[in-house]
Structure 1
Amino acid sequence: MKTKSISTAILVAGLALAPLHAFAANDPSGEERAIIAEALLEQGYVSWGDVKFEDGIWEVEDARTVENRKVDLKLDRSLNVIDVDD
């Protein structure tokens, strides 16, 4: 029974992220913007500029931390920061 619960949780998590993988344009849709904004806020960023999806990576320009440090970010498909460029 536990294995079925874990499999169901993995399936639900995958479906939640599906919109982030399924679009063709470089600019995020409104729903994608909301998901990205939530992820950036959770990771300590308070504002940001343009967001683009290129070559399997989200690129975020001019992200600002609470300390007002401005950086460019690269996020993986799960919206984890994988690169910070000052």
Structure 2
Amino acid sequence: EGKTTRYPDGASVMEHVIKGKGNEIGFGALTEILLYQGKGLKLVGPVPAEVQNYTAYTAAPLASGKQQEAAQQFVSFLAGPVGKPLFVAAGVTD
């Protein structure tokens, strides 16, 4: 008999799958799944594009920040040719 269980966060989902009997399946953010691969979790692949959920990330320095120029440079770094591969390596984007 099938059973669906909702958990409060991704970590709880991953722990449930790892501690299961081997017939469990869980859904979560790629970055979170990658954190649990060394603990026995296996990434099978993404869900189909038509049901996929994509997250848009935004970064901006605080208007009241004391290091405006440094903050803007950091945001530019993240969005630039050096920063993007870091996001890809971490599983944040492809």
Which of the five TM-score ranges fits, normalised by the shorter chain? under 0.3
TM-score after normalising by structure 2: 0.24
TM-score (norm 1): 0.25
Q: Which has the larger radius of gyration?
A: 2
Q: Which has the higher strand share?
A: 1
